Amino acid sequence: MKKIAILGSTGSIGTQALEVIDKNTDIFQVEVLTANNNANLLIEQAKKYKPNAVVIANEKKYDYVKNILQAIDIKVYAGKKAIAQIVEMDSIDIVLTALVGYSGLIPTINAIKAKKNIALSNKETLVVAGDLITQLALENKVSIYPVDSEHSAIFQCLVGEFQNPIEKIYLTASGGPFRTKTKAELEKVTKIQALKHPNWDMGNKVTIDSASLMNKGLEAIEARWLFDLKPEQIDIIVHPQSIIHSIVQFTDGSMKAQMGVPDMKLPIQYALAYPQRIFSDFKRFNFLDYPQLTFEQPKKHLFRNLDIALNALKSGGNTACIMNAANEIVVDAFLQDKVKFLEMPDIIEQTIQKLDFKTNLTLEEYVELDTESRNITKSLIQL
């Protein structure tokens, strides 16, 4: 029985993880649930799964959650610090980090220091401080199991191949909802259009990142740290059908791909159950439903966020941390109709240019840099 802490249980990945647990109650047990603001859903989940503890990040909702759950003998905590601390509980076997953006960094670090294996859905943790995270995982002998479909695909292709060197990986991208749009059309797109992803059901932030192709750039940086790759070993290819989730090419020229219908529950289950493959009733792929699988080059001249992220990957140092902070601010501003779709990469670039390039940062320096980058981006948008 694996006891699981789900950080971000009310979000897209968190709710799907609970669906996986529902089907495998003989294997998984919910030990901790956390939510940012959705107190009602957190309470509903707590009543159903009866975890040891829950945390609501919004401290104003602490009394509300505690008063409802006090009769069920569930410990209730509040605040972001409590989320970062709860992962240290002795009873936890694996921590699923499904928090959005930078907020996943400190809890993941604490979980690794507490020697908990990580099921990582929060790619920004490795984008911001991949050097620190991978070194900590090595020192504490902790495994990081990727949950993103692309990285799960790479991981699955590497099982049984860990001793064989990788020549190259291909991260596949759907191209998002605007793959066929012109620049003139992109200048007019709305958040409602951007939130309609053609293949995947994801949270708002990831969906906007997918539409701008920033998500694929973040995934490239994540892959660099997960699989110890050089920038030139990572390629991006658009695959509109989202059936091939990614590909590994080995030094003998052979390639392995992981395929399946777009369903995040499969990589979630694989990460939680590894090294086992357990039965699922997920929809099966039928070749006759997809008589053609097509591939294209990404349009970097239109979706400039991808190039910004790939340049950050090549630069190393603090660039990706700055870029990530700026991106989180501009995505939020776009969702509030305060910036246009094509203005986002311009603002991110300006933020990067305003800060000095540095290497070998400490955790405290990454935290300070994140705050400074956000403030600069806000000033550029005049928030």
pLDDT in tens, 171-229: 999 998 999 999 999 999 999 999 987 766 677 898 999 999 999 999 999 999 999 99
pLDDT at 339 over 90: yes
Instruction: Identify the pLDDT of residue 308.
Output: 98
My answer on whether 158 and 125 are in the same domain is: no
pLDDT in tens, 357-381: 999 999 999 999 999 999 999 999 9
Q: In the structure, what pLDDT confidence band is assigned to residue 13 with cuts at 50, 70 and 90?
A: very high
> What CA–CA distance (Å, rounded) separates 59 from 79?
5
Would you call 131 exposed, middle or buried from its count of C-beta atoms within 10 A (0-12, 13-18, 19+)? middle
Q: Answer whether residue 83 is part of any domain.
A: yes
pLDDT at 54 over 70: yes
Structural domain total, the chain: 2
Q: Quick one: residue 159, left, alpha or beta (phi over 0 = left, psi -120 to 50 = alpha)?
A: beta
Q: Answer whether residue 185 is part of any domain.
A: yes
Instruction: Identify the pLDDT of residue 149.
Output: 95
> What CA–CA distance (Å, rounded) separates 142 from 124?
19
pLDDT in tens, 1-12: 999 999 999 999
Q: Answer whether residue 324 is part of any domain.
A: no
In degrees and rounded to multiples of 5, residue 120 shows phi and psi of -100, 110
My answer on whether 192 and 88 are in the same domain is: no
pLDDT in tens, 314-326: 999 999 999 999 9
My answer on whether 296 and 166 are in the same domain is: yes
Residue after which a domain boundary falls, among 130, 146, 162: 146
- Calculate what percentage of the chain has a pLDDT beyond 90: 94
pTM over 0.85: yes
pLDDT at 266 over 90: yes
In degrees and rounded to multiples of 5, residue 162 shows phi and psi of -60, -25
Q: Answer whether residue 219 is part of any domain.
A: yes
My answer on whether 127 and 195 are in the same domain is: no
Q: In the structure, what pLDDT confidence band is assigned to residue 100 with cuts at 50, 70 and 90?
A: confident
> What CA–CA distance (Å, rounded) separates 328 from 205?
8
Domain holding 295, by residue range, is: 154-261+289-315
Work out the angle between the directed axes of helices 214-226 and 204-212 (0-180°, nearest 10): 100
CATH number for 128: 3.40.50.720
Q: How far is CA 24 from CA 71, 281, 289, in A?
A: 27, 11, 29
Q: Answer for the pair 258, 157: CB distance below 8 angstroms, yes or no.
A: yes
Mean pLDDT of the chain: 95
Question: Beta strand 255-259 with 244-250: parallel, antiparallel or unpaired?
Answer: antiparallel
Select the more confidently predicted residue: 200 or 100.
Answer: 100
My answer on whether 138 and 186 are in the same domain is: no
- Six token digits for residue 212: 């701008």
Q: Answer whether residue 373 is part of any domain.
A: no
Interacting residues of 365 by C-beta distance below 8 A, sequence separation 6+: 318, 358
Residue type, 61: K
My answer on whether 129 and 169 are in the same domain is: no
> What CA–CA distance (Å, rounded) separates 122 from 293?
29
